[in-house]
Amino acid sequence: MSLEINENTTINEITRAYPNTLAIFKEFHVDSCCGGGDSLAQACQKGGQDLDELIETLKNSI
């Protein structure tokens, strides 16, 4: 499955397509359960994570 990962992609979309990314969200302290409907940008804004770093890490994992 090919999914474009960008700031507008939701956590749920990513974890459904690539279940291995759950560990990355945990590492970055991003809520992948209750916050799964959030886009990456929304999640990083809420939690103070570096959006570009998260996206790069996710892309490198797939």
The rounded distance, in Å, linking the Cα atoms of 50 and 16 is 22
Residue type present at position 33: C
Prediction pTM value: 0.90
Per-residue pLDDT tens for 4-58?
999 999 999 999 999 999 999 999 999 888 878 999 999 999 999 999 999 999 9
Closest CA to 10 of 31, 53, 49, 61: 31
